[in-house]
A and B are shown apart, each in its own frame.
Chain A
Amino acid sequence: MYLYNEFDDKFVRARVNQFRGQVEKRLDGSLTEDEFKPLRLMNGLYLQLHAYMLRVAIPYGTLDSAKMRQLAFIADKWDKGYGHFTTRQNIQYNWPKLKDVPEILDALADVGMHAIQTSGNCIRNVTSDHFAGAAADEIEDPRPTSELLRQWSTDHPEFQFLPRKFKIAVTGSPNDRAVTKAHDIGIRMIRNDAGEAGYEIIVGGGLGRSPFVGKVVREFLPREDLLPYLEAILQVYNLSGRRDNKYKARIKILVHETGIEEIKVAVEKNFLTQKKYFQAPSDALVSAIEDYFIPPKLIDEDVKGLEEAMLKNPALRSFVDTNIEEHRVPEYAIVSISLKPIGGTPGDATSEQMRLIADLAEKYSHDEIRISHEQNLILPHVHKSDIPALYDELKTLGLATANIGLVSDIIACPGMDYCALATARSIPIAQEISTRFNELKLEHEIGKIKIKISGCINACGHHHVGHIGILGLDKAGIENYQITLGGDGTQNMTIGERAGPGFSAEELMPALERLIAAYLDIRENDDETFLNTYRRLGQAPFKAALYPETADA
């Protein structure tokens, strides 16, 4: 994994000291709260209803045990003993005190971490495939490119005060696990017909109140041109993006209103200028960083004991069925650790759990841990012989829930309980869904399905790309939940379609039960997923299940 060199360390320390100074300036009145705001936001510090919230970046979702232990230490010392892993490969602390924040940032710098640009209208923490470097279907590890983007975007003098926030995601696999088409810029590592490595650049995707599927602005960008090309997109956006309405300020609106063809022309023209100023080819910069991402030395040993252990323990079998993904080395596995215990809060981990995961990463996963945008943790390099022992240890702290990709593996935003913007609760809804389908013992029969819940129109729970999306709104003081169907966040990104009128909190669960029952009834066979059934049959049968009164009439 990337290790800070002297320059990185010096930079991050200087930034901490700068922020310490800004906190002092705020406290002595030389900065007004209004002026302090953009500065604290550049350092990941939000002001919520009752307290500050600190958002810490986990660049491209990669951690090691030392970093994880430090996150646990921070949770214990300056927060309430837990942290919340978000849908953007960040961890959030909900209760830091302003005066303690510089100290927390120092503690992060001690392990090569920071909270720089995790908020504000700048280029945010770059996200990537959480199976990077391990997945069997990967063309190339996207993390060296992501790390270069972290460096290029950090404290970029021109792009700290953009019209709106700016998110970049990178994937190195044709199976897009990084939701690149829902980002301001999505980058897919590809090869052209001649076999040369390059990037496909997608621009203007996004969720939020106006969801858009990103559009290809450059089909094949040679690797050497990456930074000047992104510089060009950002300069065009900074000069032309709307600033009159914050809800229309993202680049997706600029692309939508201007048209991708015109944007393409502007970017290509600007690119020719920027190319003159980037004297180092980007591919050389990426290869220099690749030295940090040399794959771990895996052990060449046959798998022993796993089959026998699964025969003895059906719960272990179920865990292996759901929480294991194919590793590029067949004797190895990618193990997902669900942070969605039945009835729990999606994405929360206690300091004790973080420490256990750090220990297990050292013991079983070549000291590597990943954070997914689906709010789960991953041990990317586990020898299959070690799975039974790993499972037993995960179980001791409630971390062995076998539900990855299933109905209870729900993405939910913090919702009204924790977020000032939310108009409805979302975590309690997620808890109710997972508890109910667990009671019905239907989870494994239903199979792969993605339910995503947002507590307001800003769509932090990604409901637009949920196979079943749930959007909580406030209708005259009463929570109302709208259901969207058929969304998909992969390389085939599709925005879900609204099924009809919303449901009250009480009506929601029965409606979802009817919906799932209808699916089980009409699917072609056990292997046809909810999404595929929806695609085959369209909305009508699902709508009929959701609104039986209308169907009868």
Chain B
Amino acid sequence: MPVVIKDGNFVEDQFIANGGGFTSLGKFGQDSFEATSDLVGLDVPNDTDPADLAGFIDHVDAIRIPFPTYADGRGFSIARALRQMGFKGLLRAHGAILADQYPMALRVGFDEIEVPAEHAGRQPQSQWRESMGRVNDNYQDRVMSPTQPKPSAA
């Protein structure tokens, strides 16, 4: 069973428990598509141009983006682009995410992470909780914020 990490905790897959199901982008894009679950989740391959999803984001409850290896960071940009396009639903990263990448995932707009059980076994909950503490106090908030304090030269 894969493990879902939310707010730094290993939790039950609430999206599935609440009647959600994931379907592929190819299937969802067909005119004949009919939802078989109460909540619709979309599996988006990580070579998708986020702009191509513009017509879908208001019609799905969740989007899941794969990380085939931890070194493939396309998912970070897709997530950020989806949030910039106004996607308000559940955003889940899926695959080989490291605990040390958790703050990056949260900061680009992911809500939760789904990792294989073996992976979670080696990187216990404590490591995810610890790394979650690194979300705040980052440079990007400072350079993007309109209220950037003028640093005082020492």
A contacts, CB < 8 Å to B = 3, 5, 7, 10-11, 14, 18, 21-22, 25, 29-32, 35, 38-39, 121, 148, 151-152, 154-162, 227, 235, 238-239, 243, 273, 276-280, 284-285, 288-289, 291-292, 294
What are the residues of chain A within 8 A of B154 when measuring CB–CB? 3, 5
CA distance A11 to B127 in the complex (A): 19
| A–B complex contacts, Cβ < 8 Å, 23 sampled | A5-B151, A7-B142, A11-B138, A11-B139, A14-B134, A14-B137, A25-B127, A31-B123, A38-B70, A121-B71, A151-B142, A156-B139, A158-B108, A159-B73, A160-B73, A238-B77, A239-B81, A243-B72, A277-B144, A278-B144, A280-B143, A280-B147, A291-B152
Contact call B80/A158, Cβ cutoff below 8 A: yes
Of all A-B residue pairs in the complex, the 5 with the closest CB atoms, nearest first, are A161-B73, A279-B146, A157-B107, A157-B104, A291-B153
What are the residues of chain B within 8 A of A294 when measuring CB–CB? 153
Of all chain B residues, the one with the shortest Cβ separation from A5 is: B151
Contact call A156/B140, Cβ cutoff below 8 A: yes
What are the residues of chain B within 8 A of A35 when measuring CB–CB? 70, 98
Shortest CB–CB separation between residue A154 and chain B, in angstroms?
A: 5
Contact call B100/A22, Cβ cutoff below 8 A: yes
Of all chain A residues, the one with the shortest Cβ separation from B140 is: A156
CA distance A552 to B11 in the complex (A): 81
What are the residues of chain A within 8 A of B81 when measuring CB–CB? 235, 239
Is B130 engaged at the interface, CB distance under 8 Å to the other chain? yes
Shortest CB–CB separation between residue A486 and chain B, in angstroms?
A: 38
Shortest CB–CB separation between residue A22 and chain B, in angstroms?
A: 7
Shortest CB–CB separation between residue A282 and chain B, in angstroms?
A: 8
Contact with A along B26-54 (1 / 0, CB 8 A): 00000000000000000000000110000
CA distance A61 to B71 in the complex (A): 29
B contacts, CB < 8 Å to A = 49-50, 70-74, 76-78, 80-81, 84, 98, 100-101, 103-105, 107-108, 122-124, 127, 130-131, 134, 137-140, 142-148, 150-154
Contact call B100/A151, Cβ cutoff below 8 A: no
CA distance A66 to B100 in the complex (A): 32
Contact call B78/A239, Cβ cutoff below 8 A: yes
What are the residues of chain A within 8 A of B78 when measuring CB–CB? 239
Contact call A288/B151, Cβ cutoff below 8 A: yes
Please give 11 more A-B residue pairs, beta carbons under 8 A apart, in addition to A21-B130, A278-B143.
A5-B151, A5-B152, A30-B123, A38-B71, A157-B105, A158-B80, A160-B73, A161-B72, A161-B76, A227-B143, A288-B151
Shortest CB–CB separation between residue A414 and chain B, in angstroms?
A: 25
Shortest CB–CB separation between residue B67 and chain A, in angstroms?
A: 9
Of all chain A residues, the one with the shortest Cβ separation from B130 is: A21
Of all chain A residues, the one with the shortest Cβ separation from B98 is: A35
Contact call B140/A152, Cβ cutoff below 8 A: yes
Shortest CB–CB separation between residue A114 and chain B, in angstroms?
A: 13
CA distance A14 to B74 in the complex (A): 26
Secondary structure class of chain A's binding surface, majority of residues: helix
Contact call A3/B153, Cβ cutoff below 8 A: yes
Contact call B50/A18, Cβ cutoff below 8 A: no
The answer, among B71, B77, B139, for a CB contact under 8 Å with A235, is B77
Contact call B137/A11, Cβ cutoff below 8 A: yes
CA distance A7 to B154 in the complex (A): 13
Given contacts A155-B139, A238-B76, A292-B153, contact A161 B71 (CB under 8 A): yes
Shortest CB–CB separation between residue A403 and chain B, in angstroms?
A: 38
Contact call A154/B139, Cβ cutoff below 8 A: yes
Contact call B153/A10, Cβ cutoff below 8 A: no
CA distance A38 to B99 in the complex (A): 12
Given contacts A14-B134, A157-B107, A157-B108, contact A148 B143 (CB under 8 A): yes
Most buried by B among A148, A156, A161, A238: A161
What are the residues of chain B within 8 A of A284 when measuring CB–CB? 148
Contact call B104/A277, Cβ cutoff below 8 A: no
What are the residues of chain A within 8 A of B146 when measuring CB–CB? 279-280
What are the residues of chain A within 8 A of B107 when measuring CB–CB? 157
Of all chain A residues, the one with the shortest Cβ separation from B51 is: A269
Shortest CB–CB separation between residue B81 and chain A, in angstroms?
A: 7
What are the residues of chain A within 8 A of B137 when measuring CB–CB? 7, 10-11, 14
What are the residues of chain A within 8 A of B70 when measuring CB–CB? 35, 38, 161
CA distance A408 to B123 in the complex (A): 52
Most buried by A among B70, B72, B150, B153: B153
CA distance A11 to B134 in the complex (A): 10
What are the residues of chain A within 8 A of B122 when measuring CB–CB? 29-32
CA distance A159 to B108 in the complex (A): 10
Shortest CB–CB separation between residue A289 and chain B, in angstroms?
A: 7
Shortest CB–CB separation between residue A24 and chain B, in angstroms?
A: 11
What are the residues of chain A within 8 A of B127 when measuring CB–CB? 25, 30
The answer, among A32, A38, A158, A243, for a CB contact under 8 Å with B77, is A158
What are the residues of chain A within 8 A of B74 when measuring CB–CB? 238-239, 243
Most buried by A among B70, B101, B151: B151
CA distance A162 to B100 in the complex (A): 16
The answer, among B77, B84, B101, B153, for a CB contact under 8 Å with A277, is B84
Of all chain B residues, the one with the shortest Cβ separation from A284 is: B148
Shortest CB–CB separation between residue A155 and chain B, in angstroms?
A: 6
Contact call B100/A39, Cβ cutoff below 8 A: yes
What are the residues of chain B within 8 A of A18 when measuring CB–CB? 100, 131, 134
Contact call A238/B73, Cβ cutoff below 8 A: yes
